[in-house]
């Protein structure tokens, strides 16, 4: 169990002992009361804020037990009860909110905003957590919002803004954003598509409109029905977090269409070569026939 949670559940006797220790002369020398002057540009406001500080510099801790365990970590900015409470040596962290970055111990360069934001992070660094508890040990990750809590996302400055180069962004069933790579360095078991693409002949394109709650304007749409596509080939659909069919992998369908086009193009090329051969043969036969014709007779006029 988290030691600070244990602290909150401790017996009154322990709390009395801790209080006596916190206000003992030795403790006060290391941990001055609120508004006290810390050395090395450290600032603390709140009971037991920066309580364990030894040589850390440039820390700002506001809130009960904020940066409680920090000893040598520096350049941390904390605002909130139990924020970064277990941090010991991590530096350059910013935590704003109740229990923000609570369990971070040695991770550095983390940013957490919101109650319990980044509370699951421990040793990883360079994370940005907005309204998300994060995952223990992860690094270099941005998490915004919590699955099941936030159900819509609106970001200004995207719609109607032209971008003439780049890669389309995809999102997986757990909300991770990224782009689809095509380089062979990301791929295994590469082989020709051959007849696999013939499944597209089973697909049934439709016109439709989305339900009013999704599209009040009832814009005409053109595409496929994911459940029907799954019947043809289950690998051509994506599923949601519950495993239900959600959408069609249109980029895969496009690749299959290209394969079928190339196959038909090869057939046309073969037919063109055959026609060329037949044409050349006919021309040769025609020439031979022309040469085999008898010479015309010469008619003499009798006078």
pTM (two decimals): 0.76
Taking only the tens place, the pLDDT of each residue in 146-193 is: 988 999 999 999 999 999 999 999 999 888 999 999 999 999 999 999
H helix runs in the chain, sequence order: 3-8, 12-22, 25-30, 226-232, 250-292
Taking only the tens place, the pLDDT of each residue in 287-296 is: 888 888 787 7
> Mean of the per-residue pLDDT values for the chain?
87
Going by the DSSP 8-state scheme, the letter that residue 43 receives in this structure is E
Residue with tokens 């520096």: 74
Chain-centroid distance of CA 114 in Å reads: 21
Burial degree of 22 (CB within 10 A; 0-12, 13-18, 19+): middle
Burial degree of 100 (CB within 10 A; 0-12, 13-18, 19+): buried
pLDDT of 25 reads: 30
Burial degree of 46 (CB within 10 A; 0-12, 13-18, 19+): buried
The more confidently predicted of residues 292 and 55 is 55
Length of the chain: 303
pLDDT of 300 reads: 65
Contacts of 265 (CB under 8 A, 6+ apart): none
Judge whether residue 201 has pLDDT over 50: yes
Taking only the tens place, the pLDDT of each residue in 93-130 is: 999 999 999 999 999 999 999 999 999 999 999 999 99
Domains, the chain: 1-149 (no CATH), 187-293 (1.10.10)
Residue 70 near residue 76 (C-beta atoms within 8 A): yes
Determine the 3-state secondary structure of 15 from DSSP.
Answer: helix
Q: For the chain, how far is it from start to end, CA to CA, in angstroms?
A: 137
Residue 91 near residue 105 (C-beta atoms within 8 A): no
Closest CA to 111 of 152, 146, 83, 153: 83
Determine the 3-state secondary structure of 177 from DSSP.
Answer: strand
Tokens coding 260: 């079928």
């Amino acid at each position: 169990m988290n030691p600070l949670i244990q602290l909150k559940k401790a017996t009154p006797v322990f709390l009395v002992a801790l209080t006596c220790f916190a206000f003992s002369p030795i403790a006060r020398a290391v941990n001055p009361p609120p508004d006290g002057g810390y050395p090395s540009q450290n600032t603390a406001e709140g009971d037991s804020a920066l309580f364990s500080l030894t040589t850390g510099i440039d820390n700002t801790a506001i809130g009960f037990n904020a940066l409680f365990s920090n000893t040598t970590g520096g350049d941390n900015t904390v605002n909130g009860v139990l924020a970064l409470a277990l941090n010991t040596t991590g530096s350059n962290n910013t935590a704003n909110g109740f229990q923000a970055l609570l369990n971070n111990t040695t991770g550095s360069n983390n940013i957490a905003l919101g109650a319990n934001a980044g509370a699951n992070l421990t040793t990883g660094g360079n994370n940005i957590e907005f309204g998300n508890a994060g995952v223990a040990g992860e690094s270099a990750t941005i998490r915004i919002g919590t699955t099941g809590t936030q159900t819509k996302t609106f970001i200004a400055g995207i719609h109607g803004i032209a971008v003439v180069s780049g890669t389309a962004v995809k999102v997986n069933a757990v909300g991770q954003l990224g782009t689809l790579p095509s380089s062979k360095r990301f791929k295994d078991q590469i082989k020709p598509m051959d007849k696999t693409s013939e499944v597209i002949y089973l697909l049934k394109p439709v016109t439709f409109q989305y339900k009013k709650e999704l599209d009040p304007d009832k814009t005409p749409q053109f595409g496929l029905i994911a459940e029907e596509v799954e019947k043809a080939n289950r690998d051509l659909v994506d599923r949601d977090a519950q495993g239900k069919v959600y959408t069609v992998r249109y980029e895969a369908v496009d690749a299959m269409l290209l394969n079928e086009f190339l196959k038909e193009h090869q057939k046309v090329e073969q037919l063109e070569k055959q026609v060329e051969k037949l044409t050349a043969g006919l021309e040769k036969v025609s020439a031979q026939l022309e040469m085999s014709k008898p010479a015309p007779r010469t008619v003499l006029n009798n006078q």
